């Protein structure tokens, strides 16, 4: 089942909102053919007008991850207020709750996320986007790379597309991406973080190819939270996962960002994987992440992801569910 889709453009966004709110400020510079763009001329915060928010939204849909330099004025509160303009923030994390309810610290003292993953795919309602702000950075290293699941899907040969479109993967939180670093649990804080990460077990079956709820594009849903593929043996799952994952992270489908203090990155978590590169020795690195609520993935046949274990309702609403319920009650 396929749906015709006209891809939104930045011009569309400006013309839609420009009459009411003035022309959107900001220039968008693509960083590659498939993924990544830098946006200049915008000071992020809760004050932004609708046209500028529309420009940011459309740039995110088109480029999958967008970057802003020089946002040093932001703190956790103003970052959260800005995030509310783009969607409904989740709590910081489904299981990691000891570091605050709104903002999750990406803190190298707790581990290093040097593994390809999409955030929180072990719950049924995969977050739609993350907003990450650089706070303290090492003198060298510590960049982050994103890969486009849409470009990866489009680049598959037809026989592999057919395979991926009919596969389901089980995702779990039994492995903590923040503890798969070189330390290998040699420090007490890292071990405690991993224990908290796994304190409530989650398992969800997601389609390997989902239909993006806003663009209609098809995108691969992979990353290291995948435990196995439904209906395949462990050996078969490992072989198929390596085949698809290696393809998904080809350099042609990626963009790499070298952080500066005050930088903000926003990525479409429904259409990307990312990898924080642990090449900064024992230097300290800290960023702050706010996550936005998403929907339950749907495959090309209209089938929705299935929760096997764990209740994510306290972590996140399901985007669109409240509005849909209200419309139903008023009908």
Pairing of strands 272-276, 144-148: antiparallel
Please report which residue ranges of the chain form alpha helices under DSSP H: 10-21, 50-63, 76-86, 149-154, 158-165, 188-197, 234-248, 321-330
Q: Which residue in this structure is represented by tokens 């995948």?
A: 226
Dist. CA 131–CA 101, nearest whole Å: 15
Q: What are the residues whose beta carbons fall under 8 Å from the beta carbon of 323, sequence distance 6 or more? A: none
User: Quick one: how far is CA 72 from the chain centroid?
Assistant: 23
Dist. CA 331–CA 326, nearest whole Å: 9
Active-site positions read 117, 119, 274, 289
Pairing of strands 37-40, 27-30: antiparallel
């Amino acid at each position: 089942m396929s749906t015709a889709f006209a891809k939104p453009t930045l011009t569309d966004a400006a013309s839609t909102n420009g009459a009411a709110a003035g022309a959107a400020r900001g220039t968008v510079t693509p960083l590659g053919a498939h993924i990544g763009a830098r946006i200049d001329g915008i000071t992020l915060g809760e004050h932004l007008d609708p046209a500028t928010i529309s420009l940011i939204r459309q740039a995110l849909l088109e480029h999958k991850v967008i970057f802003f330099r020089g946002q040093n004025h932001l703190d956790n509160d103003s970052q959260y207020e800005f995030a509310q303009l783009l969607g409904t923030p989740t709590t910081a994390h489904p299981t990691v709750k000891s570091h605050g309810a709104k903002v999750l610290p990406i803190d190298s003292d707790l581990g290093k996320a040097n593994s390809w993953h999409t955030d929180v795919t072990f719950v049924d309602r995969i977050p739609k986007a993350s907003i990450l702000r650089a706070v303290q950075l090492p003198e060298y290293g510590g960049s982050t790379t994103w890969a486009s699941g849409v470009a990866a899907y489009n680049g598959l040969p037809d026989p592999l597309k057919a395979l991926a479109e009919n596969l389901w993967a089980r995702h779990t939180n039994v492995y903590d991406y923040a503890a798969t670093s070189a330390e290998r649990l040699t420090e007490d804080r890292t071990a405690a973080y991993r224990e908290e990460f796994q304190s409530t077990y989650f398992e969800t079956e997601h389609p390997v190819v989902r239909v993006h709820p806003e663009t209609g594009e098809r995108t691969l849903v992979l990353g290291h939270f995948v435990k196995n593929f439904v209906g395949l043996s462990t050996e078969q799952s490992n072989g198929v996962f390596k085949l698809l994952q290696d393809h998904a992270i080809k350099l042609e489908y990626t963009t790499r960002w070298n952080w500066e203090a005050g930088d903000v990155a926003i990525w479409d978590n429904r259409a990307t994987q990312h990898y924080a590169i642990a090449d900064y020795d024992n230097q300290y690195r800290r960023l702050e992440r706010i996550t936005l609520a998403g929907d339950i993935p749907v495959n090309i046949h209209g089938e929705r992801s299935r929760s096997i274990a764990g209740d994510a309702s306290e972590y996140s609403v399901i985007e669109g569910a409240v509005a849909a319920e209200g419309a139903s009650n008023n009908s």
